[in-house]
Amino acid sequence: MSDEMTTGRGPGLVSSLGDVARRRFESKRVTTAVQGVGLEARGIHAWFGDRMVLEDMSLDFWSGTVTALIGPSGCGKSTFIRTLNRMHEFIPGAAMAGQVLLNGEDIYSSGTDVTKIRLKIGMVFQKPNPFPSMTISENVLAGLKLAQLKVDNKDDLLEECLERAGLWNEVKDRLSSYGGSLSGGQQQRLCIARSLAVRPEVLLMDEPCSALDPGSTLRIEETISHLAASMTIIIVTHNMQQAARVSDYTAFLLSDGGPGKMVEFGPTGEIFSRPKDIRTENYVTGRFG
């Protein structure tokens, strides 16, 4: 993290990051029409025990776009992303308020089947975590087994998912070796492929590159760009260059010691080149964080 910060310091950064982002945003706008809201967060608050860690987050995530959540450590961005597919509730003492709407329906409403929600809203974690007792192909298809789904042609699905995750060429000859035999970056793409196999509408990524080297990070970012056309992607990142490179929209979260709050949300180009809030500007220029 300190690496990113030191490279991020220096004059002209705001404009350069802004340029990267704006170019990307504008090229994107030409290719993909905005298709509608994929996921909406409405007044999300989150607590651990009595401590409020997240206050009043309201955000729309558009289909076919990548939204980045940035902010210093402890600002609640991971907590927020975990409320979006109901992983938040696994932490003992967790509580929340507000709504998360997927296609207009509240995923927290009673009677909702939480496993079905998680099928529609997939997640990739910080550390690559393929199941070590399964082979590469079993890993990709694990979601089908776990959620007890039937599919006609497993081989096609396997190839499609690995292809979309940008891993097919590297592993097609050793699909039956174990997931742990891959490199870290390959493992993370395997995890992405695994999430894709259940055909989610939304993909949440919680700092997917923070445990990877720069080369692998680049591959993952390419993968994200390819995937963005067909789904809604929300990515938490510490790395501002990464946010600028891959995202269409950026939300900046900050905690002043109390609960994390959203400071600013907008197209990534504007957040990095013309932030409205002085705190955002301070953060993206590396003056703190």
Partner 1 sequence: MTTAAVVKPSKPWQASPRQRLNSALVYIAAIMTSYLIVAITPMKGKLAYAFVFFAAFIVFDFALNLFSRGFPVAKDAIARAVVAAGICVAVFPILSIIATVIIRGYHGLHIGLFTHDMALNSVTDPVKQGGLLHALTGTAILVLVALIISVPLGILTAIYMTEIRGRFMKPIKFLVQAMSGVPSIVAGLFILSAVVYPITKGYSGFVGSLALSILMIPTVARTSEEVLLLIPNDLREAGVALGGTHWRTVAMVVVPAAKSGLVTAMILGVARIAGETAPILLLTGGGDKVNGDPFHGPMGSLPFYIWKSYSVGTPESITRAWAAILVLLVIVLVLFVSARLLSERRSSK
Partner 2 sequence: MSQALLSAAEGAVPAKREITTKPRFSDRVFRAVVSGGALSSLIILGLIFFFLAFQGYSVLRSQGIHFITSSNWQVVQDTAGNVDPKHTQFGIAAMLIGTFLCSLIAIIVAVPVSVLAALFLNFYAPPVLKKIMVAVVDLMAAFPSILFGLWGFFVLMPSAEYWAKLLHHFLGFIPIFKVDPPIFTRSPFVAGLVLAVMIIPIITSVSREVFSQTPLDRIQAAYALGATRWSMIRAVVLPYGRSGVVGGAMLGLGRALGETVAVYTVLNIVYQVNWHVLLGAGGNVASMILLKFGEAGPQEIKALMAAGLVLFLLTLLVNLGADLVVRRSGGKGR
Residues in the interface with partner 2 (CB under 8 A) total 29
Note the residues at the interface with partner 1 (CB under 8 A): 43, 45, 47, 52, 55-56, 86, 89, 94-98, 108-111, 113-115, 147-148, 258-259
> H-type helices in the chain, by residue range?
2-8, 13-31, 77-83, 114-120, 136-140, 142-146, 154-164, 168-171, 184-196, 214-228, 240-246, 268-273, 278-284
Q: Is 211 in the site for partner 2 (CB under 8 A)?
A: no
> Judged by CB, which is closer to partner 2: 92, or 214?
92
Residues 267/83, Cβ–Cβ less than 8 Å: no
DSSP symbols for 50-100: TEEEEEEEEEEEETT-EEEEE-STTSSHHHHHHHTTT-GGGSTTEEEEEEE
Among 147, 151, 229, 278, binds partner 2 (CB under 8 A): 147
Binding partner of residue 203 among partner 1, partner 2, none, CB under 5 to 8 Å per kind?
none
Residues 214/46, Cβ–Cβ less than 8 Å: no
Q: Whole-number minimum distance, CB 89 to partner 1, in Å?
A: 4
Q: Is 145 in the site for partner 2 (CB under 8 A)?
A: yes
Q: Which two tokens stand for residue 66?
A: 């990548």
**Sign of the torsion formed by the C-alpha atoms of 38, 41, 47 and 51:** positive
Q: Which two tokens stand for residue 280?
A: 């955002």
Binding partner of residue 97 among partner 2, partner 1, none, CB under 5 to 8 Å per kind?
partner 1
> Judged by CB, which is closer to partner 1: 46, or 190?
46
> Judged by CB, which is closer to partner 1: 3, or 113?
113
> Judged by CB, which is closer to partner 1: 110, or 153?
110
Q: Is 278 in the site for partner 2 (CB under 8 A)?
A: no
Q: Which two tokens stand for residue 138?
A: 């079993």
Residues 6+ apart with CB under 8 A from 274: 18
Binding region for partner 2 (CB under 8 A): 85, 87, 90, 92, 115-116, 118-119, 122-123, 125-127, 129, 131-134, 142-143, 145-148, 178, 191, 194-195, 198
